[in-house]
């Protein structure tokens, strides 16, 4: 028996998230179908995270156990030869049998992409959130500083009923701007359901003056979803990196 650690990337537009569902097309379902064909045995893959409908991934990790002796490069080439154009296998390596893509994950980095212009970008229709109003980077950067650190993020969670604790640590929150493009990079040890989309939506509300930047501590302290702002659109969000060691996370 082997345990393969596989990195993949996908465009989430056509999928109802990663995790398999009985009544909708998901990334996991497509991967399991084609990985099973290449390995010549039925397999169940274990993903590092759920992603919502329309969310993308630049680097997503899953592991799969197999009796196959296929080479790592043979796996990459074989599965890529079967997959649709919106999913790609990036790498494959053998790992210990007890490696678990989800439970061994030490942290993740997400990015949120915005196209800030009156005119739409036909090349990023489903890959970045088109925002038509002026985006106040000064206000947003000031507010984002309050997110960094260890906090109870209940105000930024769509449903916290199934988590043991809403406390998470955000290591960095950077906002990059080039022309009409705004990219937010968020690195943390874990994220609640819709957490980043609600944070981004709240930052958009701050840009529009619905909140002031220094309202962010009070929003966190409220521990109430109704205290925060809107939920940003899913298609601007990407799982960007997954970290499996503390060193990797701190260096990231």
C-alpha angle 8-122-232 in degrees, rounded to nearest 5: 65
Catalytic residue among 52, 86, 174, 180: 52
Q: How many CB atoms lie within 10 A of CB 108?
A: 24
Burial class (CB in 10 A: 0-12, 13-18, 19+), 173: buried
Nearest Cα to Cα of residue 52 among 90, 24, 31, 85: 24
Residues 6+ apart with CB under 8 A from 168: 150, 151, 153, 188, 189, 190, 191, 192, 195
For 132-149, b/e burial (b = at least 16 CB within 10 A) is: eeebbeebbbebbebbbe
Is 138 annotated as catalytic? no
Burial class (CB in 10 A: 0-12, 13-18, 19+), 223: middle
Question: Rounded to whole angstroms, how far apart are CA atoms 116 and 129?
Answer: 8
Q: How many CB atoms lie within 10 A of CB 42?
A: 10
Phi, psi of 3 (to 5 degrees): -125, 120
Burial class (CB in 10 A: 0-12, 13-18, 19+), 123: exposed
Enzyme catalytic residues: 52
């Amino acid at each position: 028996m082997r345990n393969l650690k596989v990195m993949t990337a996908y465009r989430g537009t056509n999928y109802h998230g990663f995790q398999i569902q009985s009544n909708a097309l998901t990334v996991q379902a497509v991967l399991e179908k084609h990985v099973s064909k290449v390995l010549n045995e039925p397999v169940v893959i274990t993903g590092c995270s759920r992603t919502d409908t329309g969310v993308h991934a630049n680097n997503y990790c899953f592991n799969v156990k197999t009796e196959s002796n296929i080479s790592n490069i043979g796996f990459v080439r074989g599965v890529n030869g079967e997959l649709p154009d919106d999913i790609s296998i990036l790498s494959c390596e053998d790992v210990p049998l007890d490696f678990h893509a989800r439970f061994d994950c030490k942290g993740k980095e997400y990015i949120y992409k915005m196209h800030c212009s009156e005119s739409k970008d036909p090349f990023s229709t489903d890959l970045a959130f088109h925002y038509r109003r002026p985006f106040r980077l000064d206000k947003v950067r000031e507010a984002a500083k309050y997110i960094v650190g260890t906090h109870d993020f209940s105000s930024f969670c769509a449903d916290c009923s199934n988590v043991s604790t809403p406390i998470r640590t955000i290591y960095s929150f950077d906002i990059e701007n080039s022309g009409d493009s705004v990219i937010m990079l968020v690195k943390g040890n874990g994220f609640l359901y819709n957490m980043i989309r609600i944070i981004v939506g709240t930052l958009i509300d701050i840009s529009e003056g619905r909140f002031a930047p220094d309202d962010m501590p009070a929003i966190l302290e409220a521990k109430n979803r109704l205290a925060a702002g809107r939920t940003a659109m899913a298609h601007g969000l990407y799982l960007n990196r997954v970290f499996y060691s503390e060193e990797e996370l701190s260096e990231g």
